[in-house]
Structure 1
Amino acid sequence: MINKTKLPIVFCALAIITIVLAGWGGRQISYQELRQSALNELFRYRNSIQYLLERYQPLPEIIAGNPRLVDGLQNPSNQHDIDLYLEQMARASDASVIYLMDAEGNTIAASNWKSPVNFLGKNFSFRPYFQQAMAEGEGYYSALGTTSKTRGYYFARRIDINGKAAGVLVVKLDLDGIEVAWESPWDQHEAAFVVTDSNGVVFISTRAQWRFHTLQPLSLQQQKQLENERRYDNRTLPLLNFLEQSQPYSLGGTNSEIRRVGIPGQIPEQFLVQRVSMADADWKLYLFIRTTSVYSTMLVSILITAGFLILALFGWLYWRERRRRFKALQKARDTLNTKVQQRTRELSAANHQLVQTAKLAVLGQMSAGINHELNQPLTAIRSYTENAIAFLERGKQETAQSNLHEILHLTDHMSSIVHQLKAFARKSDDTHQITSLPEAIQASLKILAPSLKSSGVALVQEISDTPNLFVRGDMVRLEQVIVNLITNAIQAVREEPSPEILIQLTGSDQHLELRVIDNGHGLPDDDPENIFEPFYTTRTVDQGLGLGLSITRHIIQSLDGTITARPTGETNNSGTCFTVHLPLTNNTNTGHQKQITEQPCYAE
């Protein structure tokens, strides 16, 4: 039994322990939420970078297959024609520069031939992308341009003549200013996105002052390698302050860490650092988030807990005072009953009535006390229930679960506690995932909404209501296929008085069939299959270079699918129907799907 004089000390000690635990728990929960937000944001960045690189990855192979490049390597007199061709390709693809080198690394043609800082005559044989392409057929590299002084990512493709390496075609993607497009939804002072190379050199950063710094000291071998490759044009690479701090308990066993980061000469700021790797580009992606919100959350948790403890203290004092008064009143009534029993027999009847009245009064007082003792846990149960609802709405499952445990303890009648489900991105690796084709269609239509509206095209969708229309593929690539097909249809019906595009999607036990049908000018008369060849186009240069359908077929074939084109009527100029077949994923239940039957294409 605790001594009454020590009760305030015990209460204060328990209150302090509770407040400390509340602050600690709020801090751990806040770190977990901050880490999850960082992961989601970092995966968004990674998917954006992967999509950007994948857009340009097939371009060198397509351009290198043009016969005029082989002719230019063999006949130097035709090199100016290649300059014009590469300039045209760079403009159409939004590439920074496209250039052709001979087997010794000398640039013999370049899309920037008009620029005062053009690449013509420059030798880039020291670059790893050239050496890798000459040895393996293709090469990839990120570096600071030694001529343009701009950051870029290089795609290289070897050109062989008679089985012998004759040159290398290079497409450069300009990375200067890319941070603006990837600006974080957080305030720029609260978060920073960073990309480093394999040596830990900051290559891309939303904080400009961090660029061309290193996260760890470079070894002599690394310094020598960077100097030989002139990867950063022999710039000085200062060491960024990247100081390790003590790790919170909730971040244990994860790849998140707390660091103090800043450039030399400035006071470092504390960040939660989350990182992922991009093996294809040999990059590491970092997201730095300031931890100020953690301490704000911890302070709020402490204040809320202190408020509840103060309310509990006042409730306990009120209950103790009521109990003291109740005992004093009962004692007075007992004394009164004793005196009444000593009165004369003549007053026995009245005394008996008085005793009965007193008993009723005692019962009334007891019922009030019982009501209070029952109302106290009921009030607490209601409060815990309301708080649990509020915490669940805010996503604080652990706090809500704690309240449910308190309800279980007070009622002693509950048999189980309902557990809550938690909410973390997975892009793009090249691994195929289960992807919804209807979702890809709708996402593509959102992208094309302005074009459809401005062109006045009537769009009709006939999407099967059969569930589980899934394929094993990449959402980004599927969207690219659909966008290409619908864009081609928009251009085909541009001159029609009543332009119309029909999208049909059906499924069978083994395959999904997607059709894009238009009522445009139709297919070429010579050979409809020519439209899938690179550089084949019936339009002017400003409307495209004839690469869209070639890339579309390349993507479909990489997904083990097929694509065909045929007229919607008896003649080639009666509209076009593109049909895409993709294998249905094995993990999808297709027991209730309809069997596809071959039907003629039509456009209403």
Structure 2
Amino acid sequence: MLQRPTMPGYAAPQDLIRRVRRTWFLFFVVAIVIIAAALAGAEFYGRRSAIEALESQGRTDANLKVALLTAVLERPRALPLLLSEDQQVLDALSSANSQAIEILNRKLERLVTGTQAAVLYVVRPDGIAVSASNWREPLSFVGNDYNFRDYFRRAMEQGTAEQFALGSVSKRPGLFISRRVGSAVAPLGVVVVKMEFDRLETDWQSASRPVYVTDNHGVVLITSIPSWRFMTSGAIPQQDLASIRSSLQFGDAPLAPLPIKNPAILNPGASIVSAVLPGSGEAKYLRLLAAVPTTPWQLEYLVPIETPVASAVQTARLTALAFLLPVLAIAAFLLRRRQVSVMRIATEQAMREELERRVVERTEDLSRARDRLQAEISDHRDTEAKLQVVQQELVQANRLAILGQVAAGVAHEINQPVATIRAYADNARVFLERKQTDPVEENLGAIAALTERIGTITEELKAFARKGRVAPEPVDLRGVIEGAIVLLRSRFSGQLNALDAQLPPPGLFVMGNRIRLEQILINLLQNALEALGDRSDARVEITVTETSDEAAIAISDNGPGIPPAILDSLFTPFHTSKEQGLGLGLVISKDIVADYGGRIEVSSSDRGTCFTVYLLKAKT
């Protein structure tokens, strides 16, 4: 804030001071309004972009699930057609001979084993089942009356029918596919195959995102959440509800509405809803709809949006602030410089008027005051010049500090590849002296690859300095561990006997970037090996465990441990206990893991130290 000059006999014009204060007040008000508008716009953009990305990915997942469901449905549909023309079926229905029925029972029993259908059975025109694949079981369908079933009546009338219903005997839900045997004029009966979807529902449950299929009435038929079965996505008309109840299609299920409400339509087939999943509170989901071909069904897929949207909004807000704050700072600097100039001009004018008034009153006093004032002006100008020099020096020092941090980071990250290149070069010289060219070519190839790797590391560190993120992709964890060990082999060739790496099986993929993940393991393994020194019982172990969502890489040693004072500030930049260390390795490693949604945990005692890196598993 500008200050009034304090020279004797002078007071800065009050209107100028008020104008300066009013200008700064308006500037702060406008800045707050701009920041608020930018944050609101960033929130809108971040939310919209996150939801669009989730919708695109979710539609792909939903289409894959529809394709799988369609493939599962198509497999058993040929059975009723084939059996309706089978001679043994015709014999059993036309003759009602016990021997013919027993032959058909055994045939259906064999077929159901090979086709993965739940049950195959044959029904007479009066609705009584005469043969079934489960004829040996206590709950056999043989002898039961299915005349009330819609799939039986429609097959007798139309030739073929499909109906999803709760089994009247087994009490298990499934799709009943039926076909008439004989002509419409003289029907002999109906062949029925029942298909259950237990395996498909189990696969859906492992994906951890709610997915379910509804019929044309909105009743949930197939679902990854068992408690949602036979609930409804909307109100069923009373006449349709009465028909469903009388047919016992869903047994005595209450047909209660799903715990999903407040849909906000985004576009056809997509909306945002509030849902309550079993064992959790209410949350927001993106609901995607996809029609199931060859059926009147519809697949509904719920994608959680709260965490991705919050992350996208936060990123957008930080980006907006990163752009606005420097702009506002420059505007404030320019405004202040202009006001300083105006104040200086006003001050000089006021001083001239004061001098003229004092000339009239007292020439001698004014002369001495003028000399004193000129001296003060000279001092002010000298001080201002010095302040400008100091300001320039501070700016230059700040630039040098930033340059030093980047240079230190680059030196720290390429240390291992450079050391490995040196080792390969020394080995190549020995092989040349022995006139062994093949190993020399291998070493030169490795040196070339490591040189490219140094360039990659430099680009990665530039991205790290800009807080940039390398897009994550599925990476084979076994290859990452092997690559890190290869880079350390030349520098710690005498100590790698202490390394016990229990490599994970091939095919364990995590989300990340191979180069950056190798950097993490190199830093941790290097710290462990350096901590052990020349101990005869030195031991460093690498173990990998996994859960449904994460893979954990534990690097443990039997060294002296980390003192508590150092452990508390282990991830602080430029904090190290090594004489030649820069204190950046663990900081960079932690930031890389955080970029890919993981974390690093450390535990230490006098018996050793263990660093555990948690990474998200790639979805397969």
TM-score scaled by length of structure 1: 0.50
Judging changes above 3 Å, is the alpha-carbon distance between structure 1 residues 97 and 57 closer, same or farther for their aligned structure 2 residues?
A: same
1:161-176 to structure 2, matched below 5 A, reads 164-176=186-198
Amino acid in structure 2 at the alignment position of 1:258: I
Percent of pairs with identical residues: 23
How far apart, in 1, do the equivalents of 2:66 and 2:331 lie?
A: 55
Matched, 1:284 2:298: yes
Q: Which has the higher contact order (CA 8 A, sep 6+)?
A: 1
Does 2:311 match 1:296?
yes
Matches within 5 A, 1:185-224: 185=207, 188=208, 191-224=209-242
Pairing 1:178–2:204 present: no
Residue 392 of structure 1 deviates from its aligned partner by 11
Q: TM-score, normalised by structure 2?
A: 0.49
Amino acid at match of 2:325: I
1:229 corresponding residue in structure 2: 247
Does structure 2 conserve the Cα–Cα contact (< 8 Å) formed by 1:159 and 1:165? yes
- Structure 1 match to 2:160: 138
Question: Which of 63, 78, 101 is residue 123 of structure 2 equivalent to?
Answer: 101
Query: C-alpha separation between the residues in 2 aligned to 1:201 and 1:222?
Result: 12
Q: In the alignment, what sits opposite 2:275?
A: 261
Contact kept, 8 Å, 2:216 with 2:296, in 1: the verdict is yes
AA aligned to 1:242 is I
1:67 to 81, 87, 96: 87
Aligned equivalent of 2:327, options 301, 307, 312: 312
Supply the AA of the counterpart residue of 1:198: N
Stretch deviating more after TM superposition (272-281 or 32-41): 272-281
Give, in angstroms, the shift of residue 237 of structure 1.
2.1
Q: 1:131 to 1:57 in 2, by over 3 A?
A: same
Q: What SS does structure 1 have at the residue aligned with 2:40?
A: helix
Larger helix percent: 2
Contact 1:262–1:269, Cα closer than 8 Å, also in 2: yes
Are residues 259 and 161 of structure 1, via their aligned partners in 2, closer, same or farther at CA, if it must alter by over 3 Å? closer
SS in 1 for 2:75: helix
Residue equivalent to 1:13? 33
Provide, for residues 246-277 of structure 1, a one-character-per-residue CA deviation record: whole Å limited to 9, x for no partner. 45xxx2x4331122223799854322211122
Q: How does 1:45-60 map to 2 (within 5 A)?
A: 45-60=65-80
The whole-number CA distance in structure 1 between the counterparts of 2:63 and 2:334 is: 55
Q: Is the 8 A contact 1:210 1:263 kept in 2?
A: no
- State how many pairs are aligned: 340
User: Does the C-alpha gap of structure 1 residues 68 and 390 become closer, same or farther in structure 2, counting only changes over 3 Å?
Assistant: farther
Q: In structure 2, the residue corresponding to 1:84 is in which secondary structure?
A: helix
Q: Match of 2:223, as an amino acid?
A: S
Deviation at 1:225, TM superposition (A): 0.9
Corresponding residue for 1:273?
Answer: 287
SS in 2 for 1:182: helix
Contact 1:195 1:204 survives alignment (8 Å): yes
AA aligned to 1:9 is: V
What's the CA shift for 1:202?
1.4
Q: 1:226 to 1:265 in 2, by over 3 A?
A: farther
Residue 129 (structure 1) aligned with residue 147 (structure 2): no
Cα deviation digits, residues 87-111 of structure 1 (max 9, x gap): 0111111111100011111100000
How far is the alpha carbon of 1:285 from its aligned partner?
Answer: 1.0
Counterpart among 104, 107, 128 of residue 85 in structure 1: 107
Q: Distance in 1 between matches of 2:304 and 2:91?
A: 57
The one-letter code matched in structure 2 to 1:309 is L
1:319 & 1:81 partners in 2: Cα distance? 98
Shift of 1:228: 1.9
**Does the residue aligned with 2:71 lie in a helix, a strand or coil?**
helix
Corresponding letter in the other structure for 1:299? Q
1:241 aligns with 2:256: no
Structure 2 counterpart of 1:35, one-letter code: E
Pick closer, same or farther for the CA change 1:235–1:309 going to 2, 3 Å. Answer: same
Partner of 2:503: none
Residue matched to 1:151: 173
| TM-superposed deviation, 1:163 | 5.8
Deviation at 1:35, TM superposition (A): 1.5
Residue deviations 1:324-343, cap 9 Å, x none? 999999xxxxxxxxxxxxxx
- The alpha-carbon deviation at position 321 of structure 1 amounts to 7.3
- Unpaired runs of 5+ residues, structure 1, are 330-364, 373-385, 396-604
- Distance change >3 Å, CA 59–CA 136, structure 1 → 2: same
Give the drift of 1:291.
Answer: 2.1
Q: Determine if contact 2:205/2:225 at 8 Å carries over to the other structure.
A: no
Alpha carbons 2:159, 2:184 under 8 Å: kept: no
SS of 1:100 mapped into structure 2: strand
Q: Which amino acid aligns with 2:31?
A: F
Distance 1:266 1:29, change over 3 A: closer
- Whole-angstrom distance in 1 between the partners of 2:23 and 2:248: 79
Inter-partner Cα distance in structure 2 for 1:174 and 1:193:
17
Distance 1:234 1:328 in 2: 87
What is the Cα deviation at residue 222 of structure 1? 2.1
Letter in 1 for 2:298: K
1:401 counterpart residue number: none
Matches within 5 A, 1:443-482: none
1:369-425 per-residue CA deviation (whole Å, 9 max, x = no partner) reads: xxx9xxxxxxxxxxxxx99x9999869xxxxxxxxxxxxxxxxxxxxxxxxxxxxxx
The alignment's C-alpha RMSD in Å is 4.0
Counterpart in the other structure of 2:58? 38
The verdict on how the C-alpha distance between 1:394 and 1:21 changes in structure 2, with shifts beyond 3 A counting, is farther
Distance 1:39 1:326, change over 3 A: same
Report the Cα distance in structure 2 between the residues aligned to 1:146 and 1:326, rounded to whole angstroms: 93
Cα distance in 1, alignment partners of residues 183 and 170 from structure 2: 30
